[in-house]
Amino acid sequence: MKLPIYLDCNAATPVDDRVFEAMRPYFTEIFGNAASTSHAFGAQARDAVNDSRRTIAEALNVSPEEIVFTSGATESDNLAIKGIARLHKGGHIITAATEHKAVLDPCRCLAQDGYRITCLPVDRHGFIDLDELSAAFSPDTILVSIMHGNNEIGTVQDIGAIGALCRARGVAFHTDATQTIGKLPFDAQALNVDMASLTAHKMYGPKGAGALYVRKDCKVAPVIDGGGHERGLRSGTLNVPGIVGLAKSLEVAVAQMDRDITHTRTLRDRIWETLRAVSPTVIVNGPDPIADRERRLPNNLHVSILGFEADAIGAALCNVAVSSRSACTSGSNEPSHVLKAIGSPTDGVFSLRFGVGRCTSAADIDYVVNQLQSTVTRA
Q: Note the pLDDT tens digit of each residue in 280-319.
A: 888 999 999 999 999 999 999 999 988 766 777 878 888 9
CA geometry: angle 6, 59, 260, nearest 5 deg: 30
One domain, residues 107 and 233: yes
DSSP H or E stretch at residue 260: helix 257-278
Domain boundary among 226, 255, 284: 255
Question: Which residue type sits at 112?
Answer: Q
* Number of domains the chain contains: 2
pLDDT (tens digit per residue) in 173-207 = 999 999 999 999 999 999 999 999 999 999 999 99
Strand 172-176 and strand 195-199: pairing? parallel
Domain that holds residue 228: 17-255
Boundary-marking domain end, from 208, 232, 255 = 255
The total of other beta-carbon atoms located within 10 Å of residue 215's CB is: 19
Q: Is 275 found in the same domain as 234? A: no
359 neighbors 6 (Cβ within 8 angstroms):
yes
Query: Same structural domain for residues 242 and 262?
Result: no
Distance CA 164, CA 146 (A): 13
- For residue 68, what are the β-bridge partners? 212
Same domain, 28 and 136: yes
Share of the chain above pLDDT 70, in %: 96
Pairing of strands 300-305, 282-284: antiparallel
192 in the same domain as 266 = no
Claim to verify: residue 93 and residue 164 sit in the same structural domain: yes
Return d(Cα 137, Cα 266) in angstroms, integer: 40
Domain boundary residue, one of 203, 225, 255: 255
> What beta strand segments (E) does the chain contain?
5-6, 67-70, 92-96, 116-120, 141-145, 172-176, 195-199, 210-214, 282-284, 300-305, 320-321, 323-325, 350-355
Q: Can you give the pLDDT at residue 279? A: 82
Q: How many CB atoms lie within 10 A of CB 51?
A: 14
Q: Give CA–CA dist 32/293, Å, rounded.
A: 46
Residues 206 and 273 in one domain: no
Neighbour tally for 273: CB within 10 Å: 13
Q: What is the CATH number of the domain that holds 61?
A: 3.40.640.10
Entry pTM: 0.95
The answer to whether residues 110 and 83 touch, using CB atoms and an 8 Å cutoff, is no
Supply the angle between the helices 257-278 and 362-378 in degrees, to the nearest 10. Answer: 10
Query: Of 5 and 235, which is predicted with more confidence?
Result: 5
Residue 378 pLDDT > 60 = no
First to last CA, the chain: 26
Query: Are the beta carbons of 239 and 34 closer than 8 angstroms?
Result: no
- Residue ranges of the alpha helices (H) in 286-332? 309-316
How far is Cα 165 from Cα 359, in angstroms, rounded to an integer? 38
Per-residue pLDDT for 326 more than 80?
no
Phi, psi of 323, deg, nearest 5: -80, 110
pLDDT tens figures, 220-263 = 999 988 877 888 789 899 999 999 999 999 999 999 999 999 99
Q: Using 50, 70 and 90 to split pLDDT, how confident is the model at 377?
A: low
Residues annotated catalytic, as ranges: 328
Q: For 71-108, how does the pLDDT look when each residue is reduced to its tens digit (9 = 90+)? A: 999 999 999 999 999 999 899 999 999 999 999 999 99
The CB-side HSE value for 88 (13 A sphere, CA atoms) comes to 24
How far is residue 42's CA from residue 64's CA, in Å, rounded to a whole number? 20
Q: Is the pLDDT of residue 272 over 70?
A: yes
Tell me the residue type at 217.
D
Q: Give 33's pLDDT tier (boundaries 50, 70, 90).
A: confident
CA distance linking residue 103 with residue 99, whole number of Å = 6
Cα gap 334→368, rounded to integer Å? 29
Q: Which of 183, 150, 181, 105 is nearest to 344 (CA)?
A: 150
Residues 154 and 239 in one domain: yes
Q: What is the overall mean pLDDT for the chain?
A: 93
**What is the pLDDT, as a whole number, of residue 319?**
93
Please classify residue 158 by burial: count the beta carbons closer than 10 Å to its beta carbon, then call 0-12 exposed, 13-18 middle and 19+ buried.
Answer: middle
The amino acid that residue 87 corresponds to is: L
The answer on pLDDT for 329 being more than 60 is no
Cis-peptide, bond into residue 121, ω within 30° of zero: no
Q: What is the pLDDT of residue 278?
A: 86
Please state the length of the chain: 379
pLDDT value at residue 312: 79
Q: Can you give the pLDDT at residue 331?
A: 58
Query: How far apart (Å, rounded) are the C-alpha atoms in residues 219 and 233?
Result: 10
146 and 45 share one domain: yes
